[in-house]
Structure 1
Amino acid sequence: MASSTQRPKPTARAAGEKRANGSGSVRLRGRTWTARLSLGEAGRRTFSLPTCRTEQEADARLEVLSELAGRLLAAGQIVIGVPLLEQAAAREGTALRDVRLAIDQLCKGEARPRSSGDTTFAEFAERVLSGQLAEQYPLHVKPLRHPEQYRHKLNHVLGVLGPVPLTRFTVDHADRAVSILPAHLEASSRQGIAKVIHRILALATYPARIIANNPLPRGWVPKADNNKAKSSLYPDEDRRLMAAVDIPLSYRIYYGFLIREGMRADEAGRLEPSDLDLERGAIVLDENKTDDPRAWALSPDVVRALRVYFAMCAPKQRVFSRPSGLPLPGRDGAKTFRDHLRCAGIDRPELFETTESRLNIRLHDTRATFITIKLANGRTETWISDRTGHKSSSQIHHYKRAARKVAELGLGDFAPLDEAIPELRGKGRAVGGARLSGGAEAGAAGEGRFLGAAPPGQTPASADVPAASAADHEAAADGAALGPRWATPAPSAAAEQPEVIEMVSVSSTRPASARKYRQKNRSVTSGRRKWQRFS
């Protein structure tokens, strides 16, 4: 079945007359419409129209192709412009607009595409990493928060995949790139590289619409072996780490915060002073890995420790920083963390060995330490996920076996941070700052009763259920308290005084009308009960 757009029908041509350059017809082949055009020195070409479902749509697309082909013929660029016509036949919307712009530049002499006319894998990956694709499609593509991590993974495969045009990309290209990865890479690293390749091709499919389908089949991304045992610290080892004065104080307060609050190391490394409200003992974390803003009440001992620490070392751009002023490491702090553990005299072999079934301890395992010890001391999954940001119960379930061991051994909970660090011990009363509100401390103490109390015979440590001290009820000292911009000032002494209420004597004698109404109501109720009994 063939049809032509509003052009002279073939029967109107004289015998032997050739079809004019730029003209053509459409034809249904199987279930796909195609367009055949005469392109001068490029000959007659057939273009697939995968987005057309009816003859009317095919005729409309033929008019677009004829118009673009006419411009390329007039500019003398038809030979190298054929690949652009192929893309124009298969694209719609914004993608078709991009092809029109490319043809405009080619006809004006402003650009001269390669012979294939296709975007390569490396070129499109750069659009993704640079944020250009997110600017072009803000509703479908989010800007990368850490593009350098993606760039590091792609560097392993760009030598093989970089020059491959996306329209010619096959699963064989991806298989070859993954097969020549360095042998020392772990299974999780190989999986991460494969995920980035798959993501780049998925974005090229939609919303960029450079290719019709992702050439990587479902299940191509390899499974990572997540069954390796992960290490965590015991409460007594945490106390030894906090007491090691040979380790810089800035590192110990950082480690202690991670172990007691369960944050990711890179999240804590990016904390700014405005994210903390030490007047009320709260933290707000709007930007994080999962894009799920969360806020929670800090442990009272952590609040007291931070107040003393900030009085000694005022925070600048970041809450936690090295003695040199640079931000503390996030993902790259594993080696330094292990060195500090050895410096503290912690030499448990399983913390420092990597085998086929176990990983050595990493800075990220401070989260595992937090979850394990808090589960062992009766904290609920909800309480834990508020701090860690875990999305499902299954993610926390992996730590329950280790938590049962800690509970059975009776290892207890973490020591209060302001008492575990020698430089901060006993200095809480001398540091200015408003006391923790009664509601925050009462909530911390009452949560054990209502949200999952400790098992029988096991009492939560003072880090979670602190006893009220005289320092906690002292008035605020002079000086501005550290807190976010949205924090409201504490009420004045006059505002805290109870309001005087006038006492009015009310007689217990009810009016006669009220007594009659109650007697009448009783008789009606009694009649209803009798009727229900007999019915």
Structure 2
Amino acid sequence: MAREKAKYWSENARGLEQKPKRGGNTSAASPGETVSEYFARWNAARDVRGLVSIHKEASTFRIHIEPIIGTKPIASITRADIEAVVEAMDAKVAAGSHSWQTMQRAWVIATKMFKDTLRSKIAALRVRGDNPCADVAGPDRGVERAKSYLYPSEFLALMNSDRVPLHWRRMIALAVYLYVRAGELEALRWSDVDLDHGVINVNRGMDRLRAREKSTKGKLARRFALEENLLPLLRAMKAKADPDAPVIRMVCGQSLARILRRYLKFAGVTRPELFADDETRKPITFHDLRATGITWMAIRGDDPIKIMRRAGHADFATTQRYVREAEQLAGRFEPVFPPLPASLLGDGDHDDPSGNRQDGAETSENQANTSPRLGDVDRPDVRLVHVDAELHLDHDGHRGPPLLGDQQHDDGIRPAVGGQDLGEVGGLDARLREGRDRLAERVVQHLGGQRRPVLEQLHQGFMGD
């Protein structure tokens, strides 16, 4: 996610000050407008609406659709052209260069776009009298990869492990027992939690790309009773929190899955299915903690309609997948939503959400975290490089090409001190937060006050809170 945020803000920085308030770039189509030109207008309108997937979809379009029909006039695209796109997608899957899931996502983009050429609410985007994708069979589907979830005994092993920071143990417990998406957990505030009546309101999520709150997925706000065994933890956490404060501070979204798998191993949870990555299985992610909670509800025998509403599923078919999984495990599962260990109720004030232990209890993982601090931005050998956005700000604030010889960090944002890459060192998120203010201020001062609004948004976009 950090990579996507940085690239989004970098690519849009120059146009931020001139971006229209509504409608995006929706001027009437020029004569002979190509598919690529239309896609740019169409995606700009979706950007204004706040859709979070526009950057990924732009990349997918450029790779899988544009090479086939990008230069052709949008008004003259035929069914045969669309079939050629599908044929190219199937060929990529057959060659093993791309997964069938990626091709399905590309096909969704094509069908959405051509549907809007006929039926968009924005008049300037209606440029055709028909939809050439209608009745065209999409790319072939493959085998669905099985979702991962934790057994209660594995969950408790995590909760009881002193090698897992308290903040992370709490974050995992909340994700499982509230069955919320990561963005919903990040946007959750104590004002949404009614401990007197044991009820929670989930009514917004976090748009990490634009660093702002948004509606929940599917725009489905929901209110439901809290799990009884979660109440002691929530009471302990709320006792030291401001009423409008976040329930818990999240770490960088891109690193959540990676850190979760590391902590599972720390806790001795090594079931192969949680780490397998092949045609039928995928490694566990942070989102699968939500799937864990939903699966546990189904195992417990909760009414499927109640599960659907608590989980915020727009389609009952989604809920049914969890119910069918529960039916296969009936009578072979441990008691779900067990009482949380008392160690979770302790003082977490010195626990770093990024994964660093701050209580003096060094682990083998933390002993490696002795690298220079990113907050020390006055050092001349500190630089921040974003390879995807081709943005390089050196210690003097100069803009230049990316350092092609450097390795890219998994999150796209790679701080380096001297020749050392800090991307492999724990505590990166905390250090980014610590150093970001002085770093951004120096960049703003160097490039001048005229660019201040753009750079501040750029800074907020890839640093985030």
Instruction: Please give the range of the TM-score, normalised by the shorter of the 2 chains.
Output: 0.5 to 0.7
> When the two structures are superposed, what TM-score results if normalisation uses the length of structure 1?
0.50
1:122–1:282: structure 2 CA closer, same or farther, 3 Å change rule? farther
- Answering whether residue 153 of structure 2 is matched by residue 236 of structure 1, we say yes
Match 2:276 to one of 331, 335, 353? 353
> Aligned runs of 1:83-94 on 2, under 5 Å?
none
Q: Secondary structure at the match of 1:390?
A: coil
Residues 41-87 of structure 1 deviation map (CA, whole Å, 9 limit, x = unaligned)? xxxxxxxxxxxxxxxxxxxxxxxxxxxxxxxxxxxxxxxxxxxxxxx
Using CA pairs below 8 Å that are at least 6 residues apart, which structure has the higher relative contact order?
A: 2
Aligned residue in 2 for 1:381: 304
Mapped to 2, the partners of 1:360 and 1:212 lie a distance apart of 45
Aligned residue in 1 for 2:371: none
Between the two proteins, the alignment pairs up a number of residues equal to: 302
Mapped to 2, the partners of 1:315 and 1:220 lie a distance apart of 52
Letter in 1 for 2:345: L
1:98–1:404: structure 2 CA closer, same or farther, 3 Å change rule? closer
Q: Is the 8 A contact 1:128 1:200 kept in 2?
A: yes
Letter in 1 for 2:64: V
> Aligned runs of 1:111-126 on 2, under 5 Å?
117-126=31-40
1:271–1:158: structure 2 CA closer, same or farther, 3 Å change rule? farther
1:342–1:193: structure 2 CA closer, same or farther, 3 Å change rule? same
Aligned residue in 1 for 2:64: 157
Mapped to 2, the partners of 1:119 and 1:332 lie a distance apart of 40
Mapped to 2, the partners of 1:262 and 1:184 lie a distance apart of 35
> Aligned runs of 1:162-173 on 2, under 5 Å?
162-169=70-77, 170-171=81-82
Letter in 2 for 1:126: A
Aligned residue in 2 for 1:127: 41
Letter in 2 for 1:420: P
- Answering whether residue 345 of structure 2 is matched by residue 420 of structure 1, we say no
1:125–1:269: structure 2 CA closer, same or farther, 3 Å change rule? farther
- Answering whether residue 177 of structure 2 is matched by residue 260 of structure 1, we say yes
Mapped to 2, the partners of 1:253 and 1:154 lie a distance apart of 39
Q: Is the 8 A contact 1:278 1:303 kept in 2?
A: yes
Q: Is the 8 A contact 1:229 1:357 kept in 2?
A: yes
Provide structure 2 residue ranges, at least 5 long, that are not aligned to the other structure.
1-25, 204-214, 349-465
Q: Is the 8 A contact 2:143 2:279 kept in 1?
A: no
Provide structure 1 residue ranges, at least 5 long, that are not aligned to the other structure.
1-96, 103-112, 136-141, 428-535
> CA RMSD for the aligned pairs?
3.3
Q: Secondary structure at the match of 2:223?
A: strand
Letter in 2 for 1:414: F
> Aligned runs of 1:380-529 on 2, under 5 Å?
380-404=303-327, 406-416=329-339, 419-420=340-341, 422-424=343-345
Q: Is the 8 A contact 2:190 2:238 kept in 1?
A: no
Residues 378-435 of structure 1 deviation map (CA, whole Å, 9 limit, x = unaligned)? 222122112112245433332345424544135112222xx326141699xxxxxxxx
Q: Is the 8 A contact 1:242 1:421 kept in 2?
A: no
Q: Secondary structure at the match of 1:295?
A: strand
1:219–1:294: structure 2 CA closer, same or farther, 3 Å change rule? farther
1:226–1:307: structure 2 CA closer, same or farther, 3 Å change rule? farther
Q: Is the 8 A contact 1:191 1:224 kept in 2?
A: yes
Question: Structure 1 residue 223: deviation in Å?
Answer: 4.9
Mapped to 2, the partners of 1:185 and 1:313 lie a distance apart of 47
Match 1:334 to one of 257, 277, 282? 257
Mapped to 2, the partners of 1:279 and 1:151 lie a distance apart of 46
Bigger Rg, structure 1 or 2: 1
Mapped to 2, the partners of 1:316 and 1:249 lie a distance apart of 22
Q: Is the 8 A contact 2:190 2:244 kept in 1?
A: yes
Q: Is the 8 A contact 1:243 1:421 kept in 2?
A: no
Q: Is the 8 A contact 1:156 1:181 kept in 2?
A: no
Mapped to 2, the partners of 1:364 and 1:151 lie a distance apart of 24
Mean Cα deviation higher: 180-189 or 199-208: 180-189
> When the two structures are superposed, what TM-score results if normalisation uses the length of structure 2?
0.57
Mapped to 1, the partners of 2:72 and 2:243 lie a distance apart of 49
